[in-house]
């Protein structure tokens, strides 16, 4: 069974641009969450989606948004990119929330903002 | 604030020996899960071990075991018979059951394995 798939794996953007990252969860998983990993701030929760609804949101500005489609695939968008948005963005999936089921991570999308 | 603290930025261990990574957390919730994740150079987070807070028995997964002290809010990871492939960053994390799949991570401990 395929794991969590994230695309693109690497990308370089210019300040002020926007970016969209995609995540396909493990087949059958309906909960998708996103994390940002930076050397300075570590791993920080961005948001979680379940059944196309955002259930949780971390402490990030409104420039960070996401959505989930009916097939559970998710996208996150960052608008008006800043240098500080350079990070590894990790997507994770699980069967559903509130169950303590194992959470599986993708390999991440490396975003560099120049 | 709910936090996870990993006080050891880096630990070094000789191959075949044992190393213990410390983790303390702070939450007022009673129903939660604790995890150790491994992040090798590929950067993919791999689940090492999982502990349910209401279970007193410490979780074990092959060469990996935890020492869960609920009252002390401590959750250490022991790696026995260390192998070169164990070299990675290790992150401790917890998840509050009522808060969905939101993991709160510690800052990580880098494990170096010497041949």
Instruction: Evaluate the CA torsion angle A58, B66, A94, A87 in order and state its sign.
Output: positive
| Best of B1, B9, B45 to mutate (most A CBs within 10 Å, chain A) | B45
Task: Give the burial class of A106: count Cβ atoms within 10 A of its Cβ; 0-12 exposed, 13-18 middle, 19 or more buried.
Answer: buried
Give the three-state DSSP class for B95: strand
Closest Cα partner for A25 from A33, A16, A17?
A: A33
Give yes or no for residue B115 having a pLDDT over 70: yes
Torsion of CA B91, B96, B102, B108, to 10 degrees: -10
Q: Per-block average pLDDT, block size 10, for chain A (114 residues)?
A: 91 98 96 95 95 93 97 97 98 82 92 98
8 A C-beta contact, residue B25 and residue B73: yes
DSSP for B74-85 reads EEEEEE-S--GG
The model's pLDDT over B100-112, given as tens digits with 9 standing for 90+, comes to: 889 999 999 999 9
For the record, the structure tokens of A79 come out as 């608008």
Give yes or no for residue B79 having a pLDDT over 70: yes
| Contact call for B91 and A35, based on CB within 8 A | no
pLDDT computed for residue B26 by the predictor = 94
- The band of B98, judged by pLDDT with boundaries at 50, 70 and 90, is confident
Residue among B44, B95, B108 whose CB faces A100 most closely:
B95
Q: Which helix (H) or strand (E) holds A71?
A: none
DSSP secondary-structure letter at A103? P
The model's pLDDT over B8-60, given as tens digits with 9 standing for 90+, comes to: 999 999 999 999 999 999 998 888 999 999 999 989 999 999 999 998 899 99
pLDDT computed for residue A102 by the predictor = 86
Contacts of A106 in chain B (CB under 8 A): 44
Measured distance CA(A79)–CA(A16) in Å, rounded = 7
Contact map slice: A 14-33 vs B, CB within 8 A: 31, 33
pLDDT computed for residue B71 by the predictor = 93
Measured distance CA(B83)–CA(A9) in Å, rounded = 29
pLDDT computed for residue B99 by the predictor = 82
pLDDT computed for residue A68 by the predictor = 97
pLDDT computed for residue B2 by the predictor = 65
């Amino acid at each position: 069974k395929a794991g969590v798939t994230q695309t693109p794996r690497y990308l370089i953007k210019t300040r002020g641009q926007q970016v969209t990252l995609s995540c396909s969860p493990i087949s059958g998983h309906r909960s998708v969450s996103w994390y940002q990993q930076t050397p300075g701030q570590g791993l920080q929760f961005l948001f979680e989606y379940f059944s196309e609804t955002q259930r949780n949101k971390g402490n990030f500005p409104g420039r960070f948004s996401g959505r989930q489609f009916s097939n559970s695939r998710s996208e996150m968008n960052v608008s008006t990119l800043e240098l500080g948005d350079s990070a590894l963005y990790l997507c994770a999936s699980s069967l559903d929330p509130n169950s303590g089921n194992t959470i599986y991570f993708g390999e991440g999308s490396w975003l560099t903002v120049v | 604030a709910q936090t996870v603290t990993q006080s050891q930025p880096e630990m070094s261990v000789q191959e075949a020996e044992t190393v213990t990574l410390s983790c303390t957390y702070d939450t007022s919730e009673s129903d939660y899960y604790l995890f150790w994740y491994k992040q090798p150079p590929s950067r993919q987070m791999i689940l090492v071990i999982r502990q349910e807070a209401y279970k007193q028995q410490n979780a074990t997964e092959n060469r990996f075991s935890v020492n869960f002290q609920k009252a002390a809010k401590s959750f250490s990871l022991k790696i026995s018979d260390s192998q070169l492939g164990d070299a990675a960053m290790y992150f401790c994390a917890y998840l509050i059951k009522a808060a969905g799949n939101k993991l709160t991570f510690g800052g990580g401990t880098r494990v170096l394995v010497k041949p």
